[in-house]
Amino acid sequence: MSDEILQPEAAADDLAFEGALRPGSLAEFVGQQKVRRQLQLLLDAAQLQNRAPDHILLAGPPGLGKTTLAMIVAHEGERPLRMTSGPAIQHAGDLAAVLSSLVPGEVLFIDEIHRMARSAEEMLYLAMEDFRVDIMVGKGAGATSIPLELAPFTLVGATTRAGLLPNPLRDRFGFTAHLEFYEADELHRVIERASGLIGLQIESDALREIAGRSRGTPRIANRLLRRVRDYALVHGAAADHTAVSAALELYDVDEHGLDRLDRAVLSAIVERFDGGPVGLSTLAVTVGEEAETIESVVEPFLVRSGLVTRTPRGRVATPQGWRHLGRAAPGPQPSLIDDL
């Protein structure tokens, strides 16, 4: 996407900032009430029985708090945390090295677990179930497997693509948390807390305005908050509603959190194709962008916002989509009414 400010994935400058803003406990974690209560129960039960909590899978789009929750799981149980990721585990041996060095009760966080090598997955099944791995020694006919006992641990896996996980792996998690996009009032609380932590005086309606433009995603809300802070700092202005409008206009983020490309797509459907339906490839050529980008980045948000719907014949702008561009949606054609 051309306008990186609205990307839900972490950028380099987010990472430096996010460490300081991560809530350290479930009580501080905003929103996701259902998941929070489910996790709390799981952790409390483990605590009472003095054992490692069940394995946990955290599933959901980028920037909604998966890594944060993994850290909280370790922190709440006062357990050490080991962090690795699917792409770092390219061979079963990579995983064996990590697993065999865990201390009892340790939380092992595997981010992007869907990207782990297949050969390692099989080893993980056994490790999750029996806290054991079989290490292969030698090659060919002389190869033998040596069982190795592991310390009991809790696996926390995170994935943006739960559908890509093989069933046997998914089934071995005691609990799967599905993270949802946040409501505007929840994002309001996320950035209210963050502004306190970075020492930014900001008005409540400015926070509300940022929350409404953050696409349901705490990472984006924190990032927009940072741009507003910059704006107020550079202009020696108060961080108020006016500063939010000016700063976010500068970065092409409109009142609903649409960026330039989102608006270009919506406006192509409405203005060039009379509201649609229009096929993906035609749309891509019209706005001069890859079809893949439109399908995976732009369209999901437009659909989620109720501005566009997908039909078998192509993409169609909803009445709300027309209104977003300041246009009235066309009513039913007179000839159609006659036919009824």
Ligand X SMILES: Nc1ncnc2c1ncn2[C@@H]1O[C@H](COP(=O)(O)OP(=O)(O)OP(=O)(O)O)[C@@H](O)[C@H]1O
Residue 67 assigned as binding residue: yes
Catalytic residue, candidates 215, 219, 229, 263 = 219
The answer to whether 13 is a known catalytic residue is no
222 near ligand X, rule: CB under 6 A: yes
The answer to whether 111 is a known catalytic residue is yes
Catalytic residue, candidates 67, 84, 159, 318 = 67
Give the nearer residue to ligand X in terms of CB position, either 51 or 161.
161
Structure tokens given for 288: 């001069």
Handedness of CA 285, 289, 293, 295 (dihedral sign): negative
Give the nearer residue to Mg ion in terms of CB position, either 107 or 266.
107
Residue 8: count of CB within 10 angstroms of its CB: 20
Our CA dihedral for 11, 17, 19, 25, rounded to 10 degrees, sits at -110
64 near ligand X, rule: CB under 6 A: yes
Count of residues making up the chain: 340
63 near ligand X, rule: CB under 6 A: yes
- Residues 65-84 interacting with ligand X (rule: CB under 6 A): 65-68
Count of residues touching ligand X (by CB under 6 A): 22
Closest contact distance (angstroms) between CB of 12 and ligand X is 13
Q: Which residue is nearest to ligand X (CB)?
A: 65
Give the nearer residue to Mg ion in terms of CB position, either 55 or 66.
66
* 3-state SS assignment for residue 26: coil
From residue 43 to residue 72, the character string flagging contacts with Mg ion as x (rule: CB under 5 A) and all else as - is -----------------------xx-----
The answer to whether 223 is a known catalytic residue is no
Taking the C-alpha atoms of residue 198 and residue 193, their distance in angstroms, rounded to an integer, is 9
Give the nearer residue to Mg ion in terms of CB position, either 67 or 195.
67
Residue 131 assigned as binding residue: yes
Q: Which residues of 148-167 are buried (b: 16+ CB within 10 A; e: fewer)?
A: eebeebbbbbbbbebeebee
Taking the C-alpha atoms of residue 11 and residue 127, their distance in angstroms, rounded to an integer, is 33
Element spanning 315, H or E: strand 314-317
- Residues 104-163 interacting with ligand X (rule: CB under 6 A): 160
Residue 231 assigned as binding residue: no
CB 196 within 8 A of CB 169: no
- Residues 28-57 interacting with ligand X (rule: CB under 6 A): 29-32
Element spanning 265, H or E: helix 260-267
Angle at 254 between CA 251 and CA 258, to 5 degrees: 95
CA 138 to chain centroid, in Å, comes to 42
Catalytic residue, candidates 14, 79, 84, 111 = 111
Residue 146: phi and psi, rounded to 5, are -110, 120
Which of ligand X, Mg ion, none lies near 9, with the C-beta cut-off 5 to 8 A by kind? Answer: ligand X
The answer to whether 34 is a known catalytic residue is no
Taking the C-alpha atoms of residue 190 and residue 207, their distance in angstroms, rounded to an integer, is 10
| Among the residue ranges 26-34, 144-152, 224-232, 235-243, the one whose residues contact ligand X (CB under 6 A) | 26-34
* 3-state SS assignment for residue 44: helix
The answer to whether 262 is a known catalytic residue is no
Which of ligand X, Mg ion, none lies near 154, with the C-beta cut-off 5 to 8 A by kind? Answer: none
- Residues 146-165 interacting with Mg ion (rule: CB under 5 A): none
216 near ligand X, rule: CB under 6 A: no
Residue 218: phi and psi, rounded to 5, are -55, -40
Binding-site annotation, residues: 21-22, 63, 66-68, 129-131, 172, 182, 219, 310, 315
Give catalytic residues, as residue numbers.
66-67, 111, 160, 219
Binding-site annotation, residues for DNA: 310, 315
Name the site residues for ligand X (rule: CB under 6 A): 9-10, 18, 21-23, 29-32, 62-68, 160, 190, 218-219, 222
Name the site residues for Mg ion (rule: CB under 5 A): 66-67
